[in-house]
Amino acid sequence: MTANTANTAHTASTGFTGWITRESPDGHSATLEELDSGILEDRDTTLRVHYSSVNYKDALALQGRPGVVRRLPLVPGIDVTGEVVGSRHPLWREGDMVTLNGAGLGEDRHGGLAELATVDGGDLVAVPAPFTPAQAAAVGTAGFTAALGLLALERQGLAPEHGPVLVTGAGGGVGSIAVALLAHAGYEVIAATGRPELLHDRLTALGAAQVVDRAELAPKGRPLAKQRWAGVVDAVGGPVLAGALAGLRHSGTATTCGNAASAEFPGNVLPFILRGVALIGIDSVRTPRGRREAAWQLLARHLDPALLDGVTRTIPLAAVQDAAAGMLAGQGTGRIVVDVRAR
Ligand SMILES: NC(=O)c1ccc[n+]([C@@H]2O[C@H](COP(=O)([O-])OP(=O)(O)OC[C@H]3O[C@@H](n4cnc5c(N)ncnc54)[C@H](OP(=O)(O)O)[C@@H]3O)[C@@H](O)[C@H]2O)c1
């Protein structure tokens, strides 16, 4: 990367294909349309999008559910991986392959499920070796969030010798990548899933030492359980998180990023005041640049691209609604990459 002298990121009006969410009688709905680049915000860097992905938030936005889309009309897609076609930002020049997770994409600014995107250069990360652009999209927000979870645990002092780490929602995007990442980084991983029989072999192949049924974690009225794990990466919330905290060893740390089960936290203060545990929230959207870089470096060190390929399927832009419906029905596994240029 060298400084780019071009002073126009986004010039002549041009047509492009993309998903767009618009107001509808019962809220909002998304359609695939021919759009004009005049709708894009004036940001310092313009990307030709190669890949996006389908995350839980994208599924909510595409299926007209509330909680993600904060303005209309809006191009959905919280991830974007693509090629710089113009930039006023000193870090980037034409042809650089970059990736961006969150930063408001697909929530309060146009996102990645379209052939063109405008972004702030200060948020971008260069696609790091050993990943191809498609693999960077497979990592996406889910993998980026898993990496932020591991960074948070290690900032609290967690190390492999302190004991196992529990990953909840292990069959999903965040969970699958968390299992692979933690295992490669030397942790003993306990993977909790609602589909233990179906996913046992897959999670073991990713590096899980044990696969447990998430029903086993429900607190059953007891605020404290046997101390089993030293850390937790939770993506589901609800009673599963309460159970994960009940089984956390003294001075252990849990991170929570998601609410796939519930946004409620039917927990108890006893793990905090009798075992000195910590619970840390993860917000991938507003992550500062330094931490973005650190998370991607961690992924480059500890996420085997071949394992990533094994939990990824790739779909064309037109197929994202079916993928979103399956994800909200809890039928998804691993990661879904959207090849924005495929027809
Ligand atoms: N805070 C952030 O920055 C951030 C970033 C990324 C994601 N998230 C959130 O993290 C969560 C997971 O995202 P994802 O992309 O991994 O989604 P995903 O691929 O759909 O995975 C979610 C997993 O959660 C489990 N699950 C689903 N319904 C459940 C239920 N009723 N009770 C318990 N577990 C259930 C399932 O795991 P099993 O198949 O193993 O049963 C499912 O595969 C979502 O809530 C998402 O919004 C937050």
Q: Are residues 256 and 169 in the same domain?
A: yes
| Whether residue 273 sits in one domain with residue 220 | yes
Tokens of 164: 């196992």
The more confidently predicted of residues 5 and 19 is: 19
User: Mean pLDDT over all residues of the chain?
Assistant: 94
Q: 77 C-alpha to center of ligand 1: Å?
A: 17
Mean pLDDT calculated for residue range 281-300: 97
CATH number at residue 27: 3.90.180.10
- Four-CA torsion 194, 196, 200, 204, nearest 10 degrees: 60
127 lines ligand 1 (CB under 6 A): no
| DSSP letter (8 states) at residue 237 | B
Q: Which residues pair with 211 in a beta bridge?
A: 191
Q: For residue 137, is it within any domain?
A: no
CA distances from residue 19 to 35, 37, 39, 115, 254 in whole angstroms, order as listed: 9, 13, 13, 9, 36
From the CA of 195, give the closest atom in ligand 1: 41
Domain boundary at 260, 281, 302, which? 281
User: Among 72-81, 240-249, 327-336, which is the least confidently predicted range?
Assistant: 327-336
Please indicate, yes or no, whether residues 201 and 89 belong to a single structural domain of this protein: no
**Residue 153 is assigned to a structural domain of this protein:** yes
Q: Are residues 85 and 173 in the same domain?
A: no
Pairing of strands 229-234, 165-167: parallel
139 in ligand 1 pocket by Cβ < 6 Å? Answer: no
Alpha-carbon distance of 231 to 160, in angstroms, equals 10
Evaluate whether 175 touches 167 at the Cβ level (below 8 Å).
yes
| Residue 147 and residue 221 share a domain | yes
For 59-103, the pLDDT digits (tens) are: 999 999 999 999 999 999 999 999 999 999 999 999 999 999 999
DSSP 3-state assignment of 338?
strand
pLDDT at 319: 97
Judge if the beta carbon of residue 192 lies within 6 A of ligand 1: no
Cα 61 to averaged position of ligand 1 atoms, centre (Å)? 15
* Segment 236-250 mean pLDDT: 96
Residue 139 predicted with pLDDT over 50? yes
Atom 34 of ligand 1: nearest residue by CA position: 261
What is the 234 CA–ligand 1 centroid distance (Å)? 9
Same-domain check for residues 121 and 150:
no
pLDDT given for residue 332 in this prediction? 83
Percent of the chain with pLDDT over 70: 97
CATH assignment at residue 150: 3.40.50.720
Of 236, 291, 338, which is best to mutate to test ligand 1, by the most ligand atoms within 8 angstroms of its C-beta? 236
Using an 8 Å Cβ cutoff, are 170 and 146 in contact? no
Q: For a substitution probing ligand 1, which of 107, 257, 313 has the most ligand atoms within 8 Å of its CB?
A: 257
Same domain, 35 and 152: no
283: Cβ below 6 Å to ligand 1?
yes
Q: Is residue 287 part of a domain?
A: no
| Burial (CB count <10 Å: 0-12, 13-18, 19+), residue 177 | buried
Cβ(257) – ligand 1 distance below 6 Å: yes
Domain shared by 103 and 62, yes or no: yes
**Position 256 in a domain:** yes
Task: Verify whether ligand 1 is closer than 6 Å to residue 142 (CB atom).
Answer: yes
Indicate if the pLDDT at residue 9 is higher than 60.
Answer: no
Distance CA 243, CA 220 (A): 8
Residues whose CB falls within 8 Å of the CB of residue 20, separated by 6 or more in sequence, listed in order: 30, 31, 33, 35, 73, 74, 75, 76, 114
- Cβ–Cβ < 8 Å for 101, 141: yes
- 111 plus 36 within the same structural domain: yes
Contact 237, 217 (CB under 8 A): no
- Domain containing 190 equals 142-281
Angle at 128 between CA 126 and CA 134, to 5 degrees: 90
Please choose, from the candidates 302, 282, 311, 281, the residue with its C-alpha nearest in 3D space to the C-alpha of residue 171.
311
**Inter-residue contact 160 to 188 (CB < 8 Å):** yes
Query: In this structure, is residue 4 part of a structural domain?
Result: no
Distance from the alpha carbon of residue 55 to the mean position of ligand 1, in angstroms: 9
Q: Are residues 62 and 96 in the same domain?
A: yes
**Which ligand 1 atom is nearest residue 281's CA?**
1
115 and 41 within one domain: yes
In a domain, 1, yes or no: no
Q: Is 194 in the pocket of ligand 1 (CB under 6 A)?
A: yes
The alpha carbon of 261 and the centre of ligand 1 are apart by a number of angstroms equal to 7
Question: Is the bond preceding 128 in cis, omega lying within 30 degrees of 0?
Answer: no
Burial class (CB within 10 angstroms; exposed 0-12, middle 13-18, buried 19+) of 154: middle
Q: How many domains does the chain have?
A: 2
Complete DSSP assignment for 68-121: S--SSSB---SEEEEEEEEE-STT--TT-EEEEE-TTBTTTB--SSBSEEEE-G
72 located within any domain: yes
Residue 263 counted as domain residue:
yes
- Say whether both 232 and 120 belong to one domain: no
